Each structure stands twice: as structure tokens, then as C-alpha cells.
Amino acid sequence: MTELDEFIRLLTNADRVLVFTGAGISTTSGIPDFRGPKGVWNTRTPVMFQDFLADEKDQHRYWQQKSEDWTAFAAARPTPAHLAIAELHQAGRLLLCVTQNIDGLHLDSGVPAEALVEIHGSNKDAECMDCHAFEDAAPHYADYPESKTIPACSACGGLLKPGVISFGQSLREADLTRIQTLLFDADLVIAMGTTLQVMPAASLPLLAARQNIPYVVINRGPTAHDGHPLVSCRLEGGLDEIVPAAVQAALAFSG
């Protein structure tokens, strides 16, 4: 039995799938390389969360960066792998999708908010640093390059920040609680498109695997969990080829 056959078998027998996704699921969506040697995250100085809160210059720098990035993110479209996860949801087989990505493509693909945790936030949102209300960030990205005005919360007038978890900013407690509440209800965990190096998010699949929940890793290139005894199945390759084919086969077998 090949690794793909084993993945299809596990997926066929699963009714409550928890999917954990990283940047690799979006590389064919039209979003440019943000992590590579020439990616913007390696050519820019990051804005630390505390600096954003304390320094107006850093507020301007962060809004300028996010406004520049928005053109590419707004034009991106869900990949076949995104759509396959949405198909799992439509079949009633997706317990939860947890993503490290900030691009909003899982929502665009048809995975609803109630089945999704964007653990590092979303650049489609803007969060008020005072009342913590969320609003649509797109109008602010469009306005900032000309106005050069730091956006204010429409509810309370407080400081708005793009809704991405910044360097030095804690993950949202409500998101972690939601994941931990559902994690052990899964009967299959799949990590895809992630090197599983960013903590604490990358530790979550192993928490489930330690409870004897089957754990599949799919990625092009090495991951931090390669060779781990709790990994049930490891597939190497492109997600757009592997994931849709496996989902269609599993749903056909079980349908």
C-alpha cells in the first residue's frame, strides 16, 4: 500500500477531520513569495506589536506595508486544495480547519467561519486596540496610501491595527480555547503545506496524535515532524495534486 493509498483509507474512515494548513496551501493562489530569500518578510524590518502600540511612526510603517501587500492578497483565489477542504465541509466530514495563513482563502473557498480558526489572524480584518471590535480592513488599505492617516475604529474611535497577529503579539485566547475544545473530538488530523516549525501552532497536531488520533502530514519539502513516531502517514508533493484526488476518492468510497 502506498502512502497515498493509506491516506485515502484514513480519510475514508474519518467522520471528524481536523485540518491544519500553512503557507504551502496558498502558493499557487497568486500570492507572491513572502517567505523566500527575496520575499518581503526577509527584506523588511518587521513591526513589533509593542512598537506599533507605542510609536506613531511604526503605526504608519505597518499600515504602509499592509496596504502594499493588499493588492496581491485581494487578487488571490482559492487553490484546488482549498476547495477540497471545503468539499469535506460540504460532505459533513470537516470538524475544524485551523490555518496559520492570513490570506482569508479558506473563507473564500466556502469553509464557513464556524468551521475555521485563523490562528494568526487575517489581513481582511482590522482590529481596534481599544474596544477590540473588528471591521473590514479593505477600505482602509485603499485609503491609506493617499490619506496617510492612521485608521480609527468606527465604533469607538480607537487605534485600528490590521487583524494579523504581529511579532510579539499573543495568539487570541478564544482561538486556542476553541481548538483545544474540539481537538480531541477529531478522528483524523491532517497537517498540510506547513513546515510545522512555528510554535505554538505547530504543536497542536501532535497533541491529538498523542491521544492515538491518526496524524497525516502532507508537504513539499521537509517538516519538523518528519520521522516522528506519531505520524501515521507522510506524503511528499504538491497539495493541489494530492489533496483533491484523495478527498474525491474518499468521498466516493464512503458515499
- Residue 126: left (phi > 0), alpha (psi -120 to 50), or beta? beta
| C-alpha atoms less than 13 angstroms from C-alpha of 123 in its C-beta half-sphere | 21
Domains present along the chain, CATH in parentheses: 1-31+78-120+171-255 (3.40.50.1220), 32-75+123-164 (3.30.1600.10)
Of the residues 89, 120, 140, 225, only one is catalytic, namely 120
Helix or strand or coil: residue 179? helix
Kindly report, residue by residue over 190-239, the tens digit of the pLDDT. Answer: 999 998 887 777 888 999 999 999 999 999 889 999 899 999 999 999 99
Contacts of 112 (CB under 8 A, 6+ apart): 89
Kindly report, residue by residue over 70-102, the tens digit of the pLDDT. Answer: 988 888 999 999 999 999 999 999 999 999 999
Q: Which run of H or E residues covers position 250?
A: helix 239-254
Kindly report, residue by residue over 34-62, the tens digit of the pLDDT. Answer: 554 545 555 678 899 999 999 999 999 99
Kindly report, residue by residue over 128-153, the tens digit of the pLDDT. Answer: 999 999 999 999 999 999 999 999 99
Give the helix ranges, DSSP H, for 55-203: 56-75, 80-90, 105-109, 138-147, 173-183
Q: By C-alpha distance, which of 2, 14, 25, 71 is closest to 239?
A: 25
Residue 56 class from Cβ within 10 Å (0-12 exposed, 13-18 middle, 19+ buried)?
Answer: exposed
Look up 120 and say whether it is catalytic: yes
